Amino acid sequence: MDKIKKLLQKENTKNILLLCIASVFICLPLLNSKLNIGYDDGIQHIARLMGTYQSLLEGQNFPVIMSKFCNNFGYSWNLFYSPLTAYLPLIFKLIGVSFVHCIKLFMFFITFLSGITMYFFTKEVTKNKKIAVMAGLFYLFAPYRLTDMYLRNALAELTSFAFLPMVFMRFIWCFKRKTKERIFAHYRQLCFAFNTYHYYDVCSNFVFDLFIFTSETIKKQKNTK
């Protein structure tokens, strides 16, 4: 509860509101009905949402194979993309919108989240809220992020922008926390990675473990001298 209160401090709230306004400005083109989000990777993500939704209706708890695709032979689309980028957009299906609008709403949500994560990461590093909010704004308007959003319609890559600051935040957190707390938190992340079938996440977790183990070993050797 105390952590939530700290996050919702008056100055934090103002900066978060500013990032929200910037996110709305960036996402204004999404309101244009003539905007084609099926271009490039977009059509794949629309089809993946349709297949995942259909699989959920069929009773699959963790849909991997879309049974109706490829002339009813099925297609294992969620083996190639993290299912998280299908589950989260489908939440908006609960309010009765189309699959295209689900993706557009998710794009706004992930844009706002990207600015927020960069804001808190930069604030942790610099201890300066003005620099943090500027970093969040620059991050939102990053050309490659906008290219992924409007030219490539790369939903998975766009989502990764929200998690990149969290990865670097984890580096800082890991060296500040005690070893037991670090291992427990990492175990939870590893379980999450397995549950989302995202093999790249699992591999990156092991690589990060190796980095932490090597750093701790070097540190202990220095302390013993």
In a domain, 199, yes or no: no
Domain of residue 82, residue span: 2-176
Stretch 76-89: mean pLDDT, rounded? Answer: 81
Distance CA 164, CA 144 (A): 14
pLDDT of residue 168: 81
Q: What is the mean pLDDT of the chain?
A: 79
4-24 per-position pLDDT tens digit: 555 556 667 888 999 999 999
The amino acid that residue 167 corresponds to is V
Model-level pTM? 0.76
How far is it, in rounded angstroms, from Cα 96 to Cα 41? 24
C-alpha 170/C-alpha 190 separation (Å) is 14
Number of domains in the chain: 1
pLDDT band at 190 (very low <50, low <70, confident <90, very high): low
* pLDDT on residue 220: 65
Does any domain span residue 182? no
Within a domain: 62: yes
Helix (H, G, I), strand (E, B) or coil at 163: helix
Show Cβ contacts of residue 99 under 8 Å, excluding neighbours closer than 6 positions. 46, 49, 50, 53, 93
pLDDT of residue 76: 79
Averaged pLDDT, 36-52: 87
pLDDT (average), residues 174-192: 57
Count of C-beta atoms within a 10 Å radius of residue 110: 22
Residue 181 CB coordination number (10 Å): 12
The Cβ-side half-sphere exposure at 45, using a 13 Å CA radius, reads 31
Q: Does 197 reside within a domain?
A: no
Given a cut of 70, is residue 215 above it in pLDDT? no
What's the pLDDT score for residue 10? 61
Residues 6+ apart with CB under 8 A from 158: 107, 110, 111, 145, 148, 149
Residue 172 has pLDDT above 70, yes or no: yes
Helix axes 99-126 and 42-57, enclosed angle (nearest 10): 110
Residue 210 located in a structural domain? no
Q: Which residue has the higher pLDDT, 207 or 129?
A: 129
Report pLDDT for 42.
Answer: 86
Q: Greater confidence, 139 or 156?
A: 139
Q: What is the pLDDT of residue 29?
A: 93
Residue 33: per-residue pLDDT: 85
* 3-state class (DSSP) for residue 127: coil
